Chain A
């Protein structure tokens, strides 16, 4: 059952920011993640500030430079079905399409997807763990089959988003507005790893709103794709996923990024894989070296070592597929 709160639906960004004058005031976009957190009492709430009345946060439009501006309120379904995104940035359309379930994609927004809270079952449950200000990470010695193999430190969540890896791979940036004015941050720097701060997931301050996502024009020879493995075929987060956005020059990988989901507390750029494939043709040898590289630095917990062969498998599968496009 939800706790008590007041509710406002401002018409403008300024008004919305004014309502965010306390950390207990929460932004509501589609609410698919927020309401769950409130019901589970993961955090407190005084006022809910709905963004749904703010027109400028909606829509998907092409920018003058040939990139794309996506309003924070664009729904996952809009992203998944947008012909523009499907043709120019398939990795993003695929990431959105692989998220959650049809109902949740109708309601959930891209902004909300980037700002969603971790799915660690201790965090979501009635456990006062480190990330909630307690003094113990229950997952460390507890049930950690769905936790991270990379980038964990004191806290071992995996980042839940299926769109964030695509956005990092594509080199997207986000626009943020707050009491201190607007700022722009690369998506890659938007997420906060536990090594930096255990208690937050993004760089957003409580009174800041993510307003839009900006995609640079697709570079020459861009091929992109997203692959997700999950325990259930719908309505489930990634056990392992890989977003590829690679620039090909002829058969050779001239640049680009490889980003993992289900691997780490933030969307995880696999520099190890990138190093292996950069400047190479994706032949069997390179692909197999890349598959080894993806988990080279992995430190599995007691119950999630299956992620090692799993990441190897999907990196191999996806690189083979993208080489053939």
Chain B
């Protein structure tokens, strides 16, 4: 390929360049953004050449393993590592008695603990760790460690934890905190209602199951520590490890180029990270420490179980008059948001003047929760969206209609009631209903005279996600080389969502550089810029405007160079397909790759910073999902036939990664609705019983419908940021479970108020219903 072809393909014109200090205008028509372009790292991912942290192999590397407390509640009396230390291949053993390992660990701000806390408050707390030449030797050494425990009374179910005489997790009562919210006059609201309904609900604890396990490789060079960690945020890991080990930030380098999923469970470092670093220090060898699946199920997070009650009032015309919600939940042994955001949809999704919520977070002897894709929201949606369905039926209104009647255009739940920068909830509902053929499907499902054991049903639910706008800070650096190729340098992780692809598209869009000429450096605290972890559906709305700003800076500098070369004012110059020319006389163009100053300097560096979000605006993504199910009304088997998901997440940045989020979100929601729940041996040992992939049932390819339609409401939100996109990764999983529950109700007349909708549960309920007649 000749050099000339590299920069700017034919037909790739670039948007106008704002003068410095001027805000860029929204893109008018895009050439790259919004299309369905295969991922920039698809080859590496599919061929296996991508090196994930768990693939890292260093010379002299050895293997770490962690011994964990097998009891939900115990006091470690003695740890005897003598035999283990002498075993073949063993290079380091650490316990709570090892001086360097006596470091503080904070599961959460409210409750301090230590790395090897002798007071083990959940099954899976680390008690000791070893490093050995092979994983097998490490495992053998663990088995040779003798631990004496005082086994203590436990409580592993939050529904038992408030009973009198329940064992205490932290030495007092087990209530961690109660949060209350109230607006309007709830009791008056209920008096104004024509229909008031009240119901109890529960969602079970869902376990984090990213493909790649949690862990890292740790290596010391003198006093400098490098960690290859499977993480959603390298800088978050750096900060935590530096604090715990009392190291300067500059001495901790965290690399996380590829990572196999996190869903919220890898927003922070784990005890395993610090343990790996300590083992590496002690053995003077690089140490790889990845947990087993069983360990991750016990120790690194889950979606808290929640017990919820909702009382709702509605007028005959569909006006909501009052919502009264309460819930309990548990984030396990340390405060970890056991009820956080569970009430958010009740507060904010529908127009309602009178709302009261009360959430009580409870401590129990189980592994701490970690944020789980849209924390709190799927639980709250399970309640609110089933209630909306029931209210609609009670006032004989179509459920879509009822929701359409109650769409707010400002946030009722947020301080100061900011207006939404954009709201596409109406479009989501209308366009979704149309694409799904809701009316037809519903009338068919409701058609009388169906006698067979197989019944069909349709259901829907909608949602919003509490934050969709991303936030500062972020810094992105673009390096344009004299041959017209580009380096994109950012600290953010691509957690599998396609961040790299989207950012390359933004750079390509703004600079007219073909994707093949863009290389990305990212997620490395040693070489890339500060970024907060990829979570909260923030990565696209945070990083994409930053990339755009950096690209504009590159263009501005190129215009300056051309202005010198052409001896014309920069403001009179424009880009045209790889060249810069006077706007008035395109024939006098100079090719960018011919700019002498660029050749001399060797690079143009454009730096983009993420500016603040607009003041007093709520940037919120919305969604609605529709589904159809088939129920065997004798056995309780449910087959999900199809899903339509409509999402308003602002501009569609890339159609393929967008649709992947939708499909993945629905799949995860099906897991919560149908098959996934933690089982603890509640009354005997308190231990987890389903800690493997057979007993903890993730949905398989046969459990999700072939027909999953993603239908974006593709409207750029120009108030939100310079690319017009809002977050997507979390709203996609919020309405799924209640949409299924509503469809099952539609088919059977049975309200399933507790997850999962398993044949066990539904068969029992169907039998009870038949008995009642």
Contacts and interface: CB of A to CB of B under 8 A. Distances in A.
A127 B689 CA distance: 10
B732 to A, nearest CB: 22
B70 interface: yes
A72 B766 CA distance: 41
A232 B675 contact: yes
A141 B681 CA distance: 10
Given A138-B681, A143-B682, A316-B634, A234 B701 contact: yes
A143 B681 contact: yes
Contacts of A125: 687, 689, 691
Interface in B739-772: 756, 758-761, 763-764, 766-767
A325 interface: no
Contacts of B681: 122, 138, 142-143
Most A CB within 10 A of own CB, among B70, B136, B684, B760: B760
Nearest to B453: A317
Contact of A229 (B453, B635, B702): B635
B153 interface: no
B702 to A, nearest CB: 4
B763 A306 contact: yes
A116 B694 CA distance: 15
B70 A317 contact: no
B764 A305 contact: yes
Given A121-B689, A231-B675, A235-B694, A145 B700 contact: no
Interface string A286-325: 0000000000000000001110111011101100000000
Contact of A127 (B453, B685, B700): B685
Interface string B656-698: 0000000000000000001100011111110101110011010
B635 A1 contact: no
Contacts of A233: 639, 700, 702-703
B147 to A, nearest CB: 14
B759 A310 contact: yes
A142 B683 contact: yes
Interface string A114-128: 000001011011110
B514 interface: no
B634 A234 contact: no
Nearest to A1: B139
A43 to B, nearest CB: 16
B682 to A, nearest CB: 7
A232 B700 contact: yes
B398 interface: no
B337 interface: no
Interface in A213-230: 229-230
A1 B292 CA distance: 9
A199 interface: no
A235 B675 CA distance: 12
Contact of A1 (B70, B135, B674): B135
Contacts of B675: 231-232
A274 to B, nearest CB: 22
B699 interface: yes
Contact of A231 (B634, B682, B760, B764): B760
A312 B763 CA distance: 11
A312 B771 CA distance: 14
B636 interface: yes
A30 to B, nearest CB: 16
A229 B700 contact: no
B759 A229 contact: yes
Contacts of A110: none
B213 to A, nearest CB: 13
A236 interface: yes
Given A1-B139, A309-B767, A317-B635, A143 B689 contact: yes
Contacts of A317: 453, 634-635
Contacts of A126: 70, 687
Nearest to B764: A306
A306 B695 CA distance: 19
B129 to A, nearest CB: 15
Nearest to B704: A233
**B70, B639, B700: most-surrounded residue (chain A CB, <10 A):** B700
Interface in B125-140: 135-136, 139
B634 A313 contact: yes
A138 B684 contact: yes
Contacts of A195: none
A101, A119, A236, A305: most-surrounded residue (chain B CB, <10 A): A236
B212 interface: no
A32 B48 CA distance: 25
A309 B764 contact: yes
Nearest to B700: A234
B233 to A, nearest CB: 30
Contacts of B635: 229, 310, 313-314, 317
A308 B136 CA distance: 46
Interface string A223-267: 000000111111110010000000000000000000000000000
Contacts of A308: 767
A239 B702 contact: no
Contacts of A309: 634, 763-764, 766-767
B637 interface: yes
Contacts of A229: 635, 637, 759
Interface in A97-142: 101, 119, 121-122, 124-127, 138, 141-142
Contacts of A4: 136
Contacts of A145: 760
A14 B498 CA distance: 57
Interface in B328-362: none
A251 to B, nearest CB: 22
Contacts of A143: 679-682, 689
A310 B636 CA distance: 8
Identify the interface centre among B697, B703, B759: most chain A CB within 10 Å of its CB. Answer: B759
A141 B683 contact: yes
A230 B766 CA distance: 17
A61 to B, nearest CB: 33
Contacts of B701: 234
Interface string A136-179: 00100111010000000000000000000000000000000000
B150 to A, nearest CB: 19
Nearest to B679: A143
Contacts of B674: 232
Pick from A145, A231, A317 the residue with the most CB of B within 10 Å: A231
A46 to B, nearest CB: 16
Contacts of A138: 681, 684-685
A306 B760 contact: yes
A310 B763 contact: yes
Contact of B758 (A101, A231, A235, A314): A231
Contacts of B136: 1, 4
Contacts of A314: 635
A310 B681 CA distance: 25
Given A1-B136, A306-B760, A234 B702 contact: yes
The 7 A-B residue pairs with the shortest CB-CB distance, nearest first, are A309-B767, A313-B634, A233-B702, A306-B764, A121-B689, A234-B700, A1-B139
Interface of A: 1, 4, 101, 119, 121-122, 124-127, 138, 141-143, 145, 229-236, 239, 304-306, 308-310, 312-314, 316-317
12 contacts: A119-B694, A121-B679, A121-B690, A122-B681, A143-B689, A229-B637, A231-B759, A232-B699, A233-B703, A239-B759, A304-B760, A309-B766
Given A1-B292, A231-B675, 6 more contacts: A143-B689, A306-B759, A309-B763, A310-B635, A317-B634, A317-B635
